[in-house]
Structure 1
């Protein structure tokens, strides 16, 4: 598909290529980044299966349990864009190591929690650490790789995202099975300690010093007012979504238009800040590139449908079908396997095939989710896990062709100096999409459960809502393919 030029006033893709010298340690550095990325994203989903054990162990209320899950996602999403800008300005290696230390220490605090308030506070800090790390990973991939190698690297990152999301319930269930229902939940957090320490030592040795270089021209202009506006806007949008079931009444939804106003104020401020000759938190000229803007939109809508799958399936399998945490995790494993395989393959071909590959992936996800709904409808007994294997594998194969290929295309024309902030914007959209999707799908799921008292029926309608989000993402991908072909014909 045709590419728009790089944002005016920035080094374009061509100058980036001219200045590029491959670092011999780039693949080893990537392996460290993927290990840390896996650990931080794993904590988004691994906690779900541990909630019953946490409730028993700490006597946590439903509101506290909600914050254990949503508090991490909230702070994770809040700091993504500022963290990307900090990494761009002060050095990605430094920001990466700082986030890793914070995440590891917070994980230890979670494991030693003696009360629900302690655990929630540690989870909030853990989310800050994860949000500080993730933009540095996409920024370092932008910096260390070019061309087909960059697509392959993002493909490996996509495999990591898919694996961490889908393997979380399985690993959490396994840890609780091994260490017992009483204290097993603590090991859901303690498992991060050896990984974090090893990753820190490897990062000191393998992440190139070039990734520690600072943007000396703009290091003093971190746009604090922009950070405040963006943080307040994202918080106002996400808070009623993550607290949808815990906050009664309809007044909470007034926070969303307030958030929209704050985000509008953020856009206005960023334009003024740029006119002054300073480096804004987000260079809005990036959105002139169709691939970046549509990639960000597609990621937001797709994550609204993608992440909800594990939320409602975990509830259905454990509470409805009386599966253990380990059995529920095993049921979702085919999705993880399919996602890991196809993400690695998709990363190799996305630069040649383009957005049609993503459209094919989304179509496979729709087929898989439709098959899962049919399986649950037809097999309403303990064998339902076996009937879900093929549909979940199909959905996983499709998902692997969406996440990392979409990020590769979206960031293809972004200057390396802005890679962290640009990646942070995309990931913030994904977090907002995930929160909105869980709120919407959860509302439908629990409404049908309350009216029908049938877990299979509730799951069917929850899946139907998730399918609508995935279909919207497919519409975005198809529109981009059509527009790109028309533009190519006009140029020819």
Structure 2
């Protein structure tokens, strides 16, 4: 695949198509949660069905990221983007038309896999289309999309249910993707840069992909099922041992594969690049912390305070809006301030989460949602200075030819971090709730304790970010690769 950019005036429209597709796929991570009661009533879904309707998407998404990124780097990002986008739109239509809960769970697996194929191409295309400060701005816009899509899912889902009705409104949650995709597919075919190869095809590391897949699945599955299944005792924790063995085998295989002159999934040069490894670590840790906030706050608002899904979504909207705004600003500032900007962002997020912790214990009644919204807004402002600048810094020393694989690796660690973090915080939340009582005060106490777990995880990300900031002061400036 070439790293030659198309004409300057066509790059940003192509990037806009990438943002639209990325927003759709990331939105479906959270939008379905508010529709689960409607799905349960309409399709007579069992708890196991509902579990897989949510977990299947998350697992399939995380499982195919790195293989899809690798395929995009070797076979062509435009081709893989169109395959992923088309499959996602068709799967969305199928989700909205199914007549049984097991069928919906199966199609959600396909939808998640399609989203996993699509997203690494977005990161790879950013690497390919932009250089220098423009790349930072592009990642800023993408970071805004990530933050807004994650936080706005419950709000949009609640709005669709309110318009379409509780009985069959869940179908609109999926079918809304179809007209959007119908517009994006021809635009992508027209605007994205055409794939060009130099020389022959590079053989894929099939064994490495299989071992990596077992590793990711073995780590994510227990934590996802622990969260969606409602209890730690229902998760297959023995799979963590399988994942550990697969990881060791993957590392050994990759080293041997590279020694034979082959092109591994993760080259030793990439793994030894400090900006990449530290940035990926920060991303995984940070996602383990901040993404659990939405679930815990939603439980507190809806079950503790009795708010509707739409009202609960509105409370979290300031987080999304400020996060999107600061992500755009962060994309412009990252080339000037570097890792220090990420440190500032994490500190601001910590301040907002800590304020929310204090607020839910001391403010009740009608004022509680307003105060929580204000505190979350502070956290959202910090969030925008973390995600997009961190992506820019993590990929700054990565060759364009490896952009999709490197970006997919970062996204995979984010998905793994999300699964682990959500499982840990929800376990603490429900354990605290069982002792505190299922009233507003009990939910407030459970949320406060869960947020402290979140703060602990984010604090570890802060330590890594500070260490990377200090490391960067001792090295010469980096020129972004071409």
Q: TM-score, normalised by structure 2?
A: 0.94
Q: Deviations over 1:418-459 (max 9, x none)?
A: 100010000000000000001100110111111211111111
CA distance in 1, matches of 2:226, 2:362: 31
Aligned to 1:158: 143
Q: In the alignment, which of 451, 471, 478 is matched to residue 483 of structure 1?
A: 471
Classify 1:486/1:206 alpha carbon distance in 2 versus 1 (closer, same or farther; 3 Å): closer
CA distance in 2, matches of 1:50, 1:374: 30
Q: Deviations over 1:197-218 (max 9, x none)?
A: 1010111111122xx223644x
Structure 2 unmatched runs, 5+: 478-482
- Asked whether the equivalents of residues 212 and 250 of structure 2 are also in contact (C-alpha less than 8 Å), the reply is yes
Aligned to 1:168: 153
Q: Deviations over 1:138-184 (max 9, x none)?
A: 00010110000000000000000011001111100100011111111
CA distance in 1, matches of 2:190, 2:93: 24
Classify 1:185/1:366 alpha carbon distance in 2 versus 1 (closer, same or farther; 3 Å): same
Q: In the alignment, which of 324, 330, 346 is matched to residue 308 of structure 2?
A: 324
Aligned to 2:43: 58
Aligned to 1:98: 83
Aligned to 2:130: 145
Q: In the alignment, which of 312, 328, 352 is matched to residue 368 of structure 1?
A: 352
- Asked whether the equivalents of residues 358 and 477 of structure 1 are also in contact (C-alpha less than 8 Å), the reply is yes
- Asked whether the equivalents of residues 361 and 402 of structure 1 are also in contact (C-alpha less than 8 Å), the reply is yes
Q: In the alignment, which of 344, 356, 360 is matched to residue 328 of structure 2?
A: 344
Aligned to 1:293: 277
- Asked whether the equivalents of residues 5 and 11 of structure 2 are also in contact (C-alpha less than 8 Å), the reply is no
CA distance in 1, matches of 2:177, 2:5: 35
Aligned to 2:337: 353
Q: Deviations over 1:353-382 (max 9, x none)?
A: 100000000001001011111221122224
Q: In the alignment, which of 218, 235, 256 is matched to residue 236 of structure 1?
A: 218
Please list, as runs of the form range in 1=range in 2, the aligned pairs for 1:445-464 lying within 5 A after superposition.
445-453=429-437, 454-464=442-452
Note the aligned Cα RMSD (angstroms).
Answer: 1.8
Q: Deviations over 1:406-429 (max 9, x none)?
A: 000000110111100010000000
Q: What SS does the aligned partner of 1:24 have?
A: helix
Q: TM-score, normalised by structure 1?
A: 0.93
Aligned to 1:7: none
CA distance in 2, matches of 1:261, 1:402: 33
CA distance in 1, matches of 2:301, 2:373: 13
CA distance in 2, matches of 1:59, 1:184: 15
Aligned to 1:181: 166
Choose 289-298 or 368-377, whichever is displaced more.
368-377
CA distance in 2, matches of 1:140, 1:295: 19
Aligned to 2:420: 436
Choose 400-409 or 311-320, whichever is displaced more.
311-320
Classify 1:251/1:305 alpha carbon distance in 2 versus 1 (closer, same or farther; 3 Å): closer
Aligned to 1:410: 394
CA distance in 2, matches of 1:20, 1:304: 35
Q: Deviations over 1:327-346 (max 9, x none)?
A: 01101000001111000000
Please list, as runs of the form range in 1=range in 2, the aligned pairs for 1:113-132 lying within 5 A after superposition.
113-132=98-117
CA distance in 1, matches of 2:5, 2:186: 27
Q: What SS does the aligned partner of 2:168 have?
A: helix
1:214 counterpart = 2:197: yes
Aligned to 1:191: 176
- Asked whether the equivalents of residues 225 and 234 of structure 2 are also in contact (C-alpha less than 8 Å), the reply is no
Question: How far has the Cα of 1:254 moved from its partner?
Answer: 2.1
Question: How far has the Cα of 1:24 moved from its partner?
Answer: 2.9
CA distance in 1, matches of 2:385, 2:358: 23
Please list, as runs of the form range in 1=range in 2, the aligned pairs for 1:221-300 lying within 5 A after superposition.
221-245=203-227, 246=229, 249=233, 252-300=236-284
Structure 1 unmatched runs, 5+: 1-10
CA distance in 1, matches of 2:250, 2:193: 34
Classify 1:320/1:226 alpha carbon distance in 2 versus 1 (closer, same or farther; 3 Å): same
CA distance in 2, matches of 1:291, 1:189: 38
